[in-house]
């Protein structure tokens, strides 16, 4: 069994939001499926760190979820900034059951144990929160990250954190999120959100003892990244 990670699948199989208008995204669904099937086995875990689908509702996202459900492995999904279909965990779990999407699970204030590791995740937020509403969202995301990590470490497992927004980018730091990672002694943090030229300026390295890695689809050639082989 292995743990893989990827972010920003940006699927749009049932809505008109093609990503191939952007450089490097031509035939991305086919490329993603091929690369995924080449390396992921049915017993593996794949964490998808946000921006799963361009759909505006769960019903509209059905084709995208069917695409993911049919790929090998169990998918652990967390929220991104473009996941407008996202609703309560109860409703999303009911949606999975109703459609027999049995290889997909959501991370939302919780974690999943895989071997000696716990998979923890939340969306994260912007660096410069000056508006009151942004501050409220950031504080909510901090709380969700803490809840996920706390859930993950209760049985003594090592937490691996997945975020959608980068907690650090060049000279910018989302202090609230970053400080939680430091406080809990997180060793690895994977994130997405960045595309195109921004990928070259992303931190793929160590800061305060934490190894940060960008795993947005176009930054990893639409190929799930091996996180841990168990």
Model confidence pLDDT, tens digit, residues 81-129: 999 999 999 999 999 999 999 999 999 999 999 999 999 999 999 887 7
Write the CA distances from 158 to 91, 146, 152, integer angstroms. Answer: 29, 14, 8
C-beta of residue 86 within 8 angstroms of C-beta of residue 58? no
User: Looking at residue 20, what is its pLDDT?
Assistant: 77
Question: How many other CB atoms are found less than 10 A from the CB of residue 184?
Answer: 17
- Rounded to 5 degrees, φ, ψ at 157 are -85, 155
User: Looking at residue 126, what is its pLDDT?
Assistant: 85
Which numeric CATH code is attached to 2-229? 3.60.21.10
Both structure tokens of 119: 């998979």
What percent of the chain has a predicted confidence (pLDDT) above 70?
100
pLDDT digits (tens, 9 = 90+) for 18-63: 787 788 899 999 999 999 999 999 999 999 999 999 999 999 999 9
Domain residue limits, the chain: 2-229
User: Looking at residue 19, what is its pLDDT?
Assistant: 84
pLDDT range class, residue 131, cuts 50, 70, 90: confident
CA distance 166 to 20: 24
Write the CA distances from 71 to 47, 135, 148, 224, integer angstroms. Answer: 13, 38, 26, 12
User: Looking at residue 35, what is its pLDDT?
Assistant: 98
CA distance 100 to 184: 36
């Amino acid at each position: 069994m292995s743990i893989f990670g990827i972010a920003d699948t940006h699927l749009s199989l049932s809505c008109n939001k093609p990503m191939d208008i952007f450089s490097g995204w031509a035939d991305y669904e086919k490329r993603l499926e091929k690369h995924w099937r080449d390396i992921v086995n049915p017993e593996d875990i794949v964490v998808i760190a946000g921006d799963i689908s361009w759909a505006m509702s769960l019903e509209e996202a059905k084709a995208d979820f069917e695409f993911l459900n049919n790929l090998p492995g169990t998918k652990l999904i967390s929220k991104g900034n473009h996941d407008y279909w996202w609703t309560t965990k109860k409703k999303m779990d009911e949606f999975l059951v109703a459609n027999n999407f049995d290889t997909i699970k959501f991370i939302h204030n919780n974690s999943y144990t895989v071997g000696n590791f716990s998979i923890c995740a939340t969306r994260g937020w912007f660096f410069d929160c000056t508006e009151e509403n942004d501050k409220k969202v950031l504080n909510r995301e901090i709380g969700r990250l803490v809840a996920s990590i706390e859930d993950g470490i209760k049985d003594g497992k090592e937490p691996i954190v997945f975020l959608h927004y980068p907690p650090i980018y060049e000279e910018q730091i989302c202090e609230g999120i970053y400080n939680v990672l430091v406080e809990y002694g997180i060793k690895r943090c994977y994130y997405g959100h960045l595309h195109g030229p921004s990928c070259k300026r992303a931190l793929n390295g160590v800061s305060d003892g934490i190894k940060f890695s960008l795993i947005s689809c176009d930054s990893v050639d639409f190929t799930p990244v091996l996180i841990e082989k168990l």
